[in-house]
Structure 1
């Protein structure tokens, strides 16, 4: 299914290396695309994440820990400045000993240790 022309087009033209959860409705979007994006709030209220190995859940943009994604509290600029990436998965910021948050991120956002 990921090889279909529609999926490729959506990824290049609409999502642009982002997840559907990070895309806002644009006034120029088609009626069908707006309808799909309008379903996000309804769908998100019925979703639960199974973290498993953490390789498929975006640590910043997925609402895996609460009703709010970390990206709504920490900007992309700050993520970049502490040496992390917007595309990081939970797996990328954890190891066998737990979280491996950069010290300067912990200093600015001490609440992140309670996750």
Structure 2
């Protein structure tokens, strides 16, 4: 365990949101096969830890694929999840379609994807 890991803290919900608003990972370009959701999640996680904030990598598993997101165990609202590509809040539920779990930013609407994004498992990795 790195010494810095001992200094991580669980943020408040506001602290987590403030961190995401300042973090610029979401401005990175998604490049299929090179810089994808797992890279976004790892970068946000590393940036949070550099700020002393405890952040989890989350593997959301679909029938034939998956998606990497992040989570914070906030001191006031418990576990909260965010998509690291868009910083949108996600409320993942096993058995529910992922696209229906996203809280879109104002003015944005998600459409049903061409693949089955039914959540089969949610793995939180600290």
Task: Give the TM-score taking structure 2 as reference length.
Answer: 0.27
Bigger radius of gyration? 1
Higher strand share: 2
Higher helix share: 1
Task: Give the TM-score taking structure 1 as reference length.
Answer: 0.28
- RCO higher in 1 or 2 (8 Å CA, sep ≥ 6)? 2
